[in-house]
Chains A and B, each alone.
Chain A
């Protein structure tokens, strides 16, 4: 038997204190489709980026066709006939498909775009692509753009193709078309790696499946000999006990009711699809789901940052007992209505804080409008900054340090501290422990728990199922913008949630027209 197309031995990659990949071993053969399966943040993309020359491994070896390879740049990767199709396309909008295909190729002499188009047409007919080489990128649909990306790497003679979540942007029919093309390439002897977390696609397209979990290699199975249950278990792992103190919710009242909200983005894709739920005081409501299932849009819709097409969001004021509809309100108007809504967004330095401002000035973001004076009062924010630095043990040279100079955990402490200082009745947090070390993570869990015990309705969007199950009281699961279930966190299992996360809410392979 010939040597495998790619063989990875003990690949390790760290970013700062975070280990993205740890001793990962993997083989891909020619004429085979391998699925790389894993949750968000399990290190799939990082691993593939090392093969395609975007990152360089800290330790370990890569063998291509049996001999050791040093891949320092995407150009090196091309020399080894490796091509990666990224999740975010890297195309020039105002160029045609053919122009994008030859872009960056170093060949002698002038390009004859007619020849290029002819060759593109040849590749298209060979594998069954449907593309017009002289069409401009900005006129193309997402699926056509993806086709151009695939042709781009085939034109460069790639034998090893890596596709990073290629179906995330495709309709079911487009997905079937893509799979037909991939099968033809496989018959042509190419080695294909497809990164995905959709189980039915794994079973549909691949020959073997390799599973990663939290940066570690779990195992490889032959697709025909496995099933969804086994794969889910490998992907989410056994339940780990985290010892988070969780009290029973008391005196729960309906605080925030979301009724049938829907919203389409500019491409006409339903990002939120008929979402309804209630967040109750004195309770932590977890939101689970694969990244990009609508979590961000949902929270932003509640915060008044995202307009939505239909439905309503009703806030029940605990003081007056009035119900307020938040639809169509700006964040400022929501605040003016007396709604005490705090929001720790996913993008801490890009949205929650201003990186170049110091801690004091960041404290003011929420409160600077107070008072009639045209001038700022920095004394109260300064005091708040000092309190937060002391109480949450923020490691900083002082309160006049720009927050971008703080480490990720300390940035988050500043942000969460500020949002809690507003004594909210609803506290929304999106991935509040992402990138944080263990101690900072527990500090955040404890803060959320304290808020819950004070009677705040806490909404916690998370990615680690172990944490969701141990911290939350109820867990709402989102899949492609729809609620696929709301489960009791005390009785739910990871497998159950994992299945809801990958469940196709439309019921199988329906038409998406």
Chain B
């Protein structure tokens, strides 16, 4: 104890310690405060760079998503697709299987649908065609997800690299298919079967995207139940948390990896089907449009809870659409919109640090609560 004084000069002023569980309302208070803080920082940047009124800019962002009925439905459609892909990657990530190949799984699933739609579109009844397309997409997604899983389970290959590389294969296959299918040599494929609408998901109550939205809504609930209340979901959690514990209680880790990636790939394939049959009625290399990666963020932000993912994907879609809106309305570069999105997400993720850790002054007291 004698040399305490000489010690103090070497101690850092602050240190970081893990918190005990925080009451839920306090955690939400911090999250709310962080969003307000992010809006203030964004306002400073808007004023200093563009001299616009930040409130007007925020207003335009809201209008971009909710302004008109058409915009609102378009936003819900974007939301449904992003949520669907997020639901697909969630079981894999919960198992700590780093599936970076959702992009490719969606694309290949979509390609399978398009193949049927383009090649046998007008020759078989529409109901049969749509069912066949759905099955083909799911199967395609499964193949794209299963390959890396089998290699990981049998030979311990790195799944991140494997799934990532599979994306490029899917992109090239789509390019190739378009080259073969489009006679003019153009790299853009127009609407397929515009006259007969063969293979198009029908409108429901006059709304084009309603079927997509309903399918994803049901899937969200199913996934929530699967992860939380099924034995499979429990095994996924155990394998993800500790492979040693899984071995200890006799879970066949390889089997769980393969089974879960079949599920993950299947839902990605379904997303591809919804995009081709329900939304775009055509295909391009940008079918998934980066959502395969954004989905990872959505899933982590929601801590793998499917119900929470409705909120996090809404946030992301809202920011994306709002960003596009202000870019056109104020004639700003789209980069500004990206900057704002980045700042807001940074604050939202960053606040989790303050929920999980506390910063304490060193030597400020013996015990802390």
Contacts and interface: CB of A to CB of B under 8 A. Distances in A.
Given A364-B234, A374-B232, A376-B230, A353 B250 contact: no
Interface stretch (A190-198, A365-373, A473-481): A365-373
Given A331-B250, A357-B237, A376-B230, A68 B3 contact: yes
A365 B10 contact: no
Nearest to A364: B234
Nearest to A60: B3
Given A305-B247, A352-B248, A374 B230 contact: yes
A72 interface: yes
Interface stretch (B97-105, B238-246, B319-327, B328-336): B238-246
Nearest to A374: B230
Nearest to B235: A368
A304 B248 CA distance: 8
- How big is chain B's contact interface, by range? 20 to 34
A229 interface: no
Given A335-B250, A368-B231, A376-B234, A61 B3 contact: yes
A303 interface: yes
A343 B247 CA distance: 13
A405 B20 contact: yes
Given A61-B3, A350-B242, A354-B241, A331 B232 contact: no
Nearest to A367: B249
B249 A70 contact: no
B247 to A, nearest CB: 6
A349 to B, nearest CB: 8
A330 B254 CA distance: 14
B369 interface: no
Contacts of B248: 303, 305, 331, 343, 345, 351-352
A352 B245 contact: yes
A68 B234 CA distance: 56
A227 interface: no
A361 interface: yes
Please indicate which of the listed interface residues B6, B10, B252 has the most CB atoms of chain A within 10 Å of its own CB: B10
Contact of A331 (B1, B238, B241, B247): B247
Interface in A353-397: 353-357, 361, 364-366, 368-369, 373-376, 397
Contact of A354 (B231, B232, B238): B238
A365 B231 contact: no
A61 B242 CA distance: 42
A366 B10 contact: no
A355 B241 CA distance: 8
Nearest to B238: A354
B154 interface: no
A366 B249 contact: yes
Contacts of B10: 70, 72
B241 A347 contact: no
Nearest to A333: B250
Contacts of B244: 347, 350-351
A368 B234 contact: yes
Contacts of A335: 250
A94 interface: no
A61 B1 CA distance: 9
Contact of A59 (B1, B20, B237): B1
Nearest to A12: B1
Given A61-B3, A354-B237, A369 B231 contact: yes
B230 A351 contact: no
A162 to B, nearest CB: 22
Interface in B208-260: 229-232, 234, 237-238, 241-242, 244-245, 247-252
A60 B21 CA distance: 36
A15 interface: no
Contact of B231 (A59, A304, A350, A374): A374
Contacts of B2: 61
29 contacts: A56-B7, A61-B3, A68-B3, A303-B248, A304-B250, A330-B252, A331-B250, A332-B252, A334-B250, A345-B248, A347-B244, A351-B242, A351-B244, A351-B245, A351-B248, A354-B242, A354-B245, A355-B241, A355-B242, A357-B238, A361-B237, A365-B249, A366-B249, A368-B234, A369-B231, A375-B230, A375-B231, A376-B229, A405-B20
Given A56-B7, A70-B6, A374-B230, 18 more contacts: A70-B3, A303-B248, A330-B250, A331-B247, A331-B250, A349-B242, A354-B238, A354-B241, A354-B242, A356-B241, A361-B237, A365-B245, A368-B231, A374-B231, A375-B229, A376-B229, A376-B234, A405-B20
